[in-house]
A and B are shown apart, each in its own frame.
Chain A
């Protein structure tokens, strides 16, 4: 199902095993070997990992991913975890940005350039970027919620002529919690996009906005594009709830607010059941959902 499709998955969409089935089936759970090229510090406990596939053919195949998709990252002997794909397919490099939260992510953080790990994917529906042609795109991100949205922002910049106004509203707790500062700087200086950054608690020398990200949307002098616009919201649960409220108040329709949901997935292909939220499996029916769809899942996110 697409992002603007029905939530309910048609039974025939999940075909029935009947009659003869063609040839041997690939082991979809088999990761492909990848090499870590370099590591970039982002914020405390969050790093960006640049990598490439050992097999050039795998690299070429993988690069056809869509903004908003994800991959399963394998640390052999430790485990596997789902990670957003922050690069845009229009960029040359592949990378993950990962917070150190558990044993698998810790093992990735301990990896040194040149070392081997595993990747399989890309998985998930991704953002239907072609459905947004001609529309204004409003990105509202909090903290590391910028990771999944970065792909979409960079993609829209690379295809600037296809979209209307591009606005980024980004908030973090403190200036040292701001993600992708090199990108933020470039975006703030770019003529093709309006980028507004805020922090909850300023540190010495901070000259920018202070307040939660929602406050930017109502700030005098800021004119949020509402008509013919799609808003993208990613961030911690509290920020998500308030940002949605703010966007609805501004006049956004529920179907024009888009987010990506997060679950710890074990398979990525709709089989293990871990990412089931009501009628949907985040890994195959998402991770991109409209707010209208999220409300109809049948269970709290």
Chain B
């Protein structure tokens, strides 16, 4: 730990970092407090960060609370993930127009605009893991041009989690809490100051322009202790050893029905998941039918329409949709992309309206006993 290349900067230096990034043409996106939730949106200075706020997360519950320690990053992620910027929820694929009748050829325009150069502020270790998964999924074989450009330009100002959330399980998925890869600069809040690690040449060039000092042995020890303590305080745990095999053998298990009795098939879990990538394609026209546009939208395997085929849907039962999602995420993803589709961020647990917990449900398949009896409706699940 003594050899840890850790530097110390004072908190106001963060404003200089933001200024330097902006001067270099970056659009800064970071955590802000909006509608009582941490949301990623454009920021300009330290003052835009939710300083002094912390979050309480549990299955189906989220609360942003005033914290006693005025930390800059005293919360974990909200529902938002960086996927929203690299792979936007809505993108125009192209436009087609024609001035004359049906036999006149269409003019097809590639209406896509290039993405801005984003500097992402406050990227957590699990989120870096999620981006690396999206690289494999979206960035492979046929590259999505928008994703590729956004991904190539992005600057990652990462933050080490020293206070994990109530639904976090990055330790189980081996993705955190410490940021170890694919970052430009990484911050760790050490009291009123930041520990800074440099992860790239771009990061080093920026760091050179800051006022800093090397960390003392005591500060390095504090860094180590904070991250060790964070690892020990995960809100959730998922045993991943042999899990894909357990799930593959559980395709016909009655547990899927038990989960489906609670699942509303609302698709929240897929929307908040930082690695879910499915999309739908929809055409629209103007009223004269002279102009048409094709748009791509995030889609969810929880909708009935997702597996529409001819007169009906392949996954008609909610149990088959939940099974598709969990099996894909935790088992088939390994076959398809050589990695789990889950990074242990816990968003799907927090934002599930009925609090279905992927860690508990996946573990359930290890048990040989029949699934526990579950209330039929979420109302019945509420404490009386």
Q: Which residues of A contact B278 (CB under 8 A)?
A: 272-274
Q: Which of A271-290 contact B (CB under 8 A)?
A: 271-274, 276, 278-279, 281, 284
A27 — which chain B residues lie within 8 A by C-beta? Answer: 93-94, 110, 112, 145
Q: Which residue of B lies closest to A297 (CB)?
A: B332
A46 to chain B, nearest CB (A): 13
Of the residues B142, B277, B283, contact of A273 by C-beta under 8 Å: B277
Sort chain B's interface into a size bin: 35 or more
- A112 to B103 CA separation, bound complex (whole angstroms): 9
- Determine if A278 and B332 form an interchain contact, defined as CB atoms under 8 angstroms apart: yes
Q: Which residues of A have CB within 8 Å of B151?
A: 17
Is A116 part of the contact surface with B, judged by Cβ < 8 Å?
Answer: yes
Chain B residue at smallest Cβ distance from A107: B283
Q: For the complex, is A16 an interface residue (Cβ under 8 Å from B)?
A: yes
Query: How distant is the Cα of A40 from the Cα of B308 in the complex, in angstroms?
Result: 28
Which A residues touch B285, using CB under 8 A?
76-77
Whether A80 touches B140, Cβ cut-off 8 Å, given contacts A9-B336, A30-B110, is no
A10 at the interface (CB under 8 A from B): yes
Q: Bound state CA distance, A80 and B296, in angstroms?
A: 12
A189 part of interface (Cβ distance < 8 Å): no
* Contact residues in A for B104 (Cβ distance below 8 Å): 116
B96 at the interface (CB under 8 A from A): yes
A28 to B144, CA, bound (A): 8
Closest residue of A by beta carbon distance from B182: A18
Residue among A78, A264, A276, A281 making CB contact with B283, cutoff 8 Å: A78
In the complex, chain B residues whose CB is within 8 Å of the CB of A270: 141-142
Q: Which of A251-269 contact B (CB under 8 A)?
A: 262-264, 266-267, 269
Encoded as 1 (CB less than 8 Å from any A CB) or 0, chain B from 319 to 345 comes to 000011001100110011111000000
A116/B299 in contact, CB under 8 A? no
Asked if residues A76 and B277 are in contact (CB atoms below 8 Å), the reply is: no
Docked Cα-Cα span, A79 to B323, in Å, equals 29
Residue on A nearest B248 in the bound complex, by CB: A298
Quick one: given A17-B135, A27-B145, A272-B299, are A279 and B279 in contact (CB under 8 Å)?
no
In the complex, A238 has a CB within 8 A of chain B: no
B102 touches A112 (CB 8 A): yes
Beta-carbon contact of B284 and A16 below 8 Å: no
In-complex Cβ contact of B337 among A11, A30, A271 (8 A):
A11
Interface string of A193-207 (1 = CB under 8 A from B): 000000000000000
| 0/1 interface trace, chain B 240-266, chain A, CB 8 Å (1 if under) | 000000001001000000000000000
Q: Is A56 an interface residue (CB 8 A)?
A: no
Contact for B94 among A16, A29, A111, CB less than 8 A? A29
Whether, in the assembled complex, B301 has its beta carbon less than 8 Å from a beta carbon of chain A, the answer is yes
> Main secondary structure on chain B at its contact with chain A?
mixed
CA distance A239 to B283 in the complex (A): 35
Q: How large is the interface on A (under 10, 10 to 19, 20 to 34, 35 or more residues)?
A: 35 or more
A274–B327 CB distance below 8 A: no
Does A25 make an interface contact (CB < 8 A)? Answer: yes
B138 interface contact, C-beta 8 A: yes
Q: Is the CB of A17 within 8 A of B145?
A: no
Contacts of B299 in A (CB 8 A): 266, 272-274
**B106 located at the interface, meaning its Cβ lies under 8 Å from any Cβ of chain A in the complex:** yes
What is the bound-complex CA distance between A278 and B143, given in angstroms?
Answer: 23
Checking A15, A30, A77, A101 against B140 with a beta-carbon cut-off of 8 angstroms, the contacting residue is A15
Tell me if A39 counts as interface (CB < 8 A to partner B).
no
Cross-chain contact A269 with B142 (CB below 8 angstroms): yes
A270 nearest in chain B by CB position: B141
The residue from B145, B309, B328 contacting A276, defined by CB atoms under 8 A apart: B328
Within 8 A of B (CB), among A1-59: 7-12, 14-18, 21, 24-31, 33, 54
A91 CB contacts on chain B under 8 angstroms: none
The reply to whether A76 and B292 form a contact with Cβ atoms under 8 Å apart is yes
CB pair B327–A14 under 8 Å, yes or no, is no
A269 to B145, CA, bound (A): 14
Is B67 in contact with chain A by the CB < 8 A criterion? Answer: no
Residue numbers in B under 8 Å from A274 (CB-CB): 278, 280, 299, 306-307
Instruction: Choose from A24, A112, A116 the contact partner of B105 (Cβ within 8 Å).
Output: A116
A21 touches B308 (CB 8 A): no
Q: Are B141 and A279 in contact (CB under 8 A)?
A: no
- Inter-chain CA distance A273–B329, complex, in Å, is 12
Give Cα A77 to B145, complex, Å: 23
With the chains together, A274 CA to B282 CA distance in Å?
14
A299 at the interface (CB under 8 A from B): yes
Within the assembled complex, what's the spacing in Å between the Cα atoms of A10 and B140? 13
**What separation, in Å, do the CA atoms of A264 and B299 have in the docked complex?**
14
The answer to whether B283 and A25 touch across the interface, beta carbons within 8 angstroms, is: no
The yes or no answer to B108 lying at the interface (CB within 8 A) is: yes
CA separation between A218 and B265, bound complex, in Å?
Answer: 46
Q: Say whether, besides A266-B281, A271-B277, A272-B279, A14 and B102 are in contact (CB < 8 Å).
A: no
In the assembled complex, A93 has its CB within 8 A of some CB on chain B: no
In the assembly, what is the distance between CA of A185 and CA of B96, in Å?
42
Query: For the complex, what is the distance from the CA of A118 to the CA of B96, rounded to whole Å?
Result: 10
**Nearest CB of A to B244, in Å:** 10
Chain B 198-214: CB-based contact to A (< 8 A → 1; otherwise 0): 00000000000000000
What are 24 A-B interface contacts by the 8 Å CB criterion? A9-B335, A14-B141, A14-B338, A15-B141, A17-B140, A21-B143, A21-B152, A25-B145, A27-B110, A29-B296, A30-B93, A76-B106, A77-B283, A80-B283, A114-B103, A116-B98, A263-B314, A264-B309, A271-B142, A273-B277, A273-B279, A276-B332, A298-B327, A298-B331
Chain A interface residues (CB < 8 Å from chain B): 7-12, 14-18, 21, 24-31, 33, 54, 74-80, 101, 111-112, 114-116, 118, 262-264, 266-267, 269-274, 276, 278-279, 281, 284, 298-299
Top 9 nearest A-B pairs (CB, nearest first) are: A11-B338, A273-B278, A77-B292, A17-B139, A77-B285, A14-B140, A279-B335, A17-B135, A76-B292
